[in-house]
């Protein structure tokens, strides 16, 4: 496939197998290749399990990883991936927000792909072997688990045998008879990409969004990433014509030259059920 990135090479810094997700998309969609570097421990920027505090925002962390990838490989194009989990914007459930940042050191631009959606991530305090058995039984075979106790944190555990072995290592042969459950035990999904199939799916979707953004260039300066991110409310009500909270247009704004272009939505009017005047 021919694109402005054909035969380009992108650098990626990861120790969590993300190259297996990103490289095929770069090749098939942009005609580009990926150079992997593992010469920096990205856990130093923060961990899901909390041993290392996250001091950067998810966006800044993704950009930092892209910058480090360029510095470690000498390439101009760098990719950085970062995910976060939080209560969803919808008022219930947990959401996973995945970011894939792309930078061009020489040209001085950055473009960020996004995926935001519900997550099935689980976390549960354990009080008995019965609770442990139930949690493990409900875990997909390719989903790693994380076990936390006052004795430490164990990651990348698969299946009941691995968890029982870890409990015995921490608390001795009587762990499974109840002594371990006098401790503060918490079991959860391991959220690192190479242990979490759901995150791998979301990372792929974020990369697909990044590729779409990279192929939209500013009409004025030709910088990639001219994407209509900015929503403008005020779509008029079909019944009374009053402005509603529904989106009437989206604006793309170039991060390099600041040129703007506005695109109206396809629907010319909003349903009266969404109107604060017709349906207060």
Residues 44 and 14 reside in one and the same domain: yes
Vertex 177, ends 172 and 179: CA angle to 5°? 60
Question: What distances in angstroms separate CA 5 from CA 20, 110, 155, 168, 225, one per listed residue?
Answer: 19, 14, 38, 53, 13
Which of 98, 175, 93, 170 shows the shortest CA–CA distance to 132?
Answer: 175
- Element (DSSP H or E) covering residue 125: strand 123-126
Residue 65 domain-assigned? yes
Residue 177's pLDDT is: 63
Q: Domain of 34? A: 9-120+193-214
Nearest CA to 157 out of 172, 147, 149, 148 is that of: 147
**In this structure, are 201 and 74 located in the same domain?**
yes
- Provide the number of structural domains found in the chain: 3
Fill in the DSSP letter of residue 235: P
CATH code assigned at 94: 3.90.950.10
To which residue do tokens 């194009």 refer?
77
One domain for residues 73 and 199: yes
Tell me, yes or no, whether 279 lies in a domain: no
The pLDDT assigned to 91 comes to: 80
In a domain, 3, yes or no: no
Q: Are 127 and 94 part of one and the same domain?
A: no
Q: What confidence score (pLDDT) does residue 179 get?
A: 66
Q: For the whole model, what pTM was predicted?
A: 0.91
Let me know whether 129 and 107 are in one domain.
no
My answer on whether 153 and 103 are in the same domain is no
Strands 9-13 and 33-37: parallel
- Reported as type and span, the H/E element at residue 132 is helix 129-137
Q: Which residues pair with 252 in a beta bridge?
A: 261
Determine the pLDDT at residue 279: 85
pLDDT tens by residue, the chain, 280 residues: 678 999 999 999 999 999 999 999 999 999 999 999 999 999 999 988 888 888 999 999 999 999 999 999 999 999 999 999 999 887 889 999 999 999 999 999 999 999 999 999 999 999 888 899 999 999 999 999 999 998 899 999 999 999 999 998 998 876 666 667 767 899 999 999 999 999 999 999 999 999 999 999 999 999 999 999 999 999 999 999 999 999 999 999 999 999 999 999 999 999 999 999 898 7
Helix (H, G, I), strand (E, B) or coil at 10: strand
Asked if residue 209 and residue 72 are part of one domain, the reply reads yes
Can you say whether residue 156 is alpha, beta or left, with left for phi > 0 and alpha for psi between -120 and 50 degrees?
left
Q: Where are the alpha helices (DSSP H) in 26-97?
A: 58-73
């Amino acid at each position: 496939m021919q694109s402005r990135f054909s035969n380009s090479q992108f650098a990626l810094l990861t120790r969590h197998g993300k190259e297996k997700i990103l490289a095929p998309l770069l090749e098939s969609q942009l005609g580009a290749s990926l150079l992997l570097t593992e010469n920096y421990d990205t856990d130093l920027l923060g961990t899901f399990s909390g041993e290392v505090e996250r001091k950067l925002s998810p966006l800044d962390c993704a950009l930092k990883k892209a910058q480090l990838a360029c510095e470690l490989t000498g390439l101009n194009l760098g990719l950085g991936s970062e995910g976060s989990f939080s209560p969803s914007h919808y008022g219930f459930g947990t959401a996973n927000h995945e970011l894939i940042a792309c930078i061009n050191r020489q040209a001085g631009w950055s473009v960020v792909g996004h995926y935001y959606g519900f997550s099935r991530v689980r976390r549960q305090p354990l009080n008995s072997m019965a609770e442990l058995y139930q949690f493990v039984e409900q875990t997909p075979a390719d989903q790693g688990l994380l076990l936390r106790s006052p004795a430490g944190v164990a990651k990348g555990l698969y299946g009941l045998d691995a968890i029982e072995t870890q409990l015995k290592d921490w608390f001795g042969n009587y762990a499974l008879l109840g002594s371990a459950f006098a401790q503060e035990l918490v079991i959860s999904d391991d959220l690192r990409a190479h242990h979490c199939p759901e995150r791998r799916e979301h990372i792929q979707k974020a990369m697909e969004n990044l590729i779409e953004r990279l192929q939209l260039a500013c009409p004025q300066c030709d910088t990639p990433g001219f994407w209509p991110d900015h929503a403008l409310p005020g779509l008029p009500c079909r019944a009374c014509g009053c402005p509603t909270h529904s989106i009437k247009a989206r604006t793309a704004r170039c991060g390099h030259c600041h040129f703007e272009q506005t695109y109206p939505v396809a629907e010319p009017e909003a349903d009266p059920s969404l109107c604060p005047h017709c349906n207060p």
